[in-house]
Each structure stands twice: as structure tokens, then as C-alpha cells.
């Protein structure tokens, strides 16, 4: 179906490895940024005023809910792919499009039922 140009003999026997030393500077900078923002977040949470604390907590709740729904949605599509036992893209796409069709068909799209 498709030719990737690489065979099993082209790959190293012990697998490919990532050299972490190439990314050490990026890892340190990301860790530093994460530590500073975590300290600022904890400062706002524990030392902030009433309204600031309330809006901060709501923002965190919304952010966690937002990314959780993206993760669960991705998990749904992976599970759907495995349940349909897809070997090729066309079969998986068909099952996914049928699922989307029935979801849109039976979901309430804001119609009130009046003409």
C-alpha cells in the first residue's frame, strides 16, 4: 500500500536511543519556568485575596476540565480504532465517520422542537 523506504535491516538492533544530553539546556529552562510558575500559583492560592483566589481556582478548574476532555476524546478515538480492529486507514475512517454521523444525528443541536 505505502512504501516507507526503510526496512527492519535498516534499524539498529538494540533500538534507537534519544541522547538526553542534547536536550539538557531545554529541560533545565523548562524546569525553571515550571518551578517559578508553580511558586507564583501557590502564592496566589494561599496568599491571595478573596476574589483573586476565587477567580484563580475557577481558572484552574476550567483548564483541568478543558484538557481532560481533550485527553478523553483522544482516548475514545484510539479505543474506537482498536475495537474496529483497523488495519488500514480507510476502514478506521469509515467507522469514525459513522460514529460522528450518529452522534450528530441523535444529539440535541439546540433545537427547541418548534418549527
Question: Does 89 or 39 have the greater pLDDT score?
Answer: 39
Helix (H, G, I), strand (E, B) or coil at 45: helix
**pLDDT tier at 92, thresholds 50, 70, 90:** low
Q: What would the pLDDT profile of 44-72 be if each residue is shown by its tens digit?
A: 888 878 888 888 888 888 999 999 999 99
Alpha helices in 48-88 (DSSP H): 50-83
When the pLDDT of each residue in the chain is averaged and rounded to a whole number, the result is 78
Angstrom distances, CA of residue 96 to CA of 57, 85, 101, 109:
36, 12, 9, 20
The model carries a pTM of 0.45
Amino acid at each position: 500500500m505505502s512504501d516507507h523506504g526503510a526496512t527492519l535491516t535498516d534499524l539498529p538492533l538494540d533500538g534507537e536511543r534519544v541522547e538526553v544530553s542534547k536536550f539538557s539546556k531545554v529541560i533545565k529552562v523548562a524546569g525553571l519556568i515550571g518551578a517559578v510558575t508553580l511558586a507564583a500559583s501557590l502564592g496566589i492560592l494561599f496568599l491571595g485575596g478573596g476574589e483573586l483566589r476565587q477567580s484563580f481556582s475557577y481558572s484552574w478548574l476550567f483548564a483541568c476540565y478543558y484538557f481532560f476532555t481533550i485527553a478523553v476524546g483522544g482516548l475514545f478515538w484510539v479505543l474506537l480504532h482498536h475495537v474496529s480492529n483497523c488495519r488500514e486507514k480507510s476502514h478506521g475512517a469509515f467507522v469514525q465517520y459513522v460514529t460522528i454521523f450518529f452522534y450528530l444525528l441523535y444529539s440535541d443541536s439546540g433545537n427547541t422542537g418548534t418549527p
